[in-house]
Amino acid sequence: MSEQNAIQKAIDFAIATEETGAVTYTELAKRFADKKDLQEAFTMLARDEEVHKAQFQALMKDIPASAASIASDDDKIQLLRAMAMSEFFDLEKGPLKTIGQAQNVQEALRCVLGVEKATLSYYVALQDAIGESKALSGIIQSEKQHVTRLMKYLITDEKMKGLSDPF
């Protein structure tokens, strides 16, 4: 497999992850429609995932030149593969599957937090592989905010804000 192909597959995986997240969070917003703040939080996360998907699609068209120097057996590519194979991204047994089986709000939020942490780790590994990218740095910053806000929400019920919300 060529180096460029490995990076393209890694970005394709990120796009698919964002698509799945958007669908899952939209379903959670419907499921928790009786809890307005929670519904808004899941709606915001779904919106953010759609923004991230578009950002990754743009990144795909403009893969940094530094990515061309990465060998397919390079440790950075191997880490990306390992991250993609992680149980967090397993659609049959991972958090995206178990979110729908959550018995309560806390369980659903813990699953979502697990997904957001896993995607953050994957995107950091992707950035390590391709080099500095303004678009990817923005996505990583957003994922960090998701993790922080989800934890605050779990602990304090603080209202969540998204990319399109003013701070």
Residues 10-54: tens digit of each pLDDT: 898 899 889 988 998 999 999 989 988 889 989 999 999 999 999
The angle that helices 36-61 and 105-130 make with each other, rounded to 10 degrees, is: 20
Return the CATH architecture of domain 3-156.
Up-down Bundle (1.20)
What pLDDT does residue 102 have? 74
Place of tokens 């813990």: 110
**What pTM was computed for the model?**
0.81
CB 46 within 8 A of CB 25: yes
- Which of 29, 6, 13, 8 is closest to 122 using CA atoms? 13
Q: Which residue bears the tokens 């969540």?
A: 160
pLDDT of res. 84: 73
Instruction: Say which residue, 52 or 101, is predicted with more confidence.
Output: 52
In single-letter form, the type of residue at position 147 comes to: V
Q: Which tokens hold the place of 44?
A: 């915001």
**In terms of pLDDT, which residue wins out, 163 or 113?**
113
User: DSSP of 32-99, one letter per residue?
Assistant: TTTSHHHHHHHHHHHHHHHHHHHHHHHHHHT--GGGGG--TTSHHHHHHHHHHTSGGG-TTTSHHHHG
The structural domains of the chain, with segments of one domain joined by +, span 3-156
Q: How confident is the model at residue 103 (pLDDT cuts 50, 70, 90)?
A: confident
Q: Give pLDDT, residue 1.
A: 43
Identify which of 80, 89, 76 has the alpha carbon closest to the alpha carbon of residue 116: 89
Which pLDDT does position 65 carry in this prediction? Answer: 63
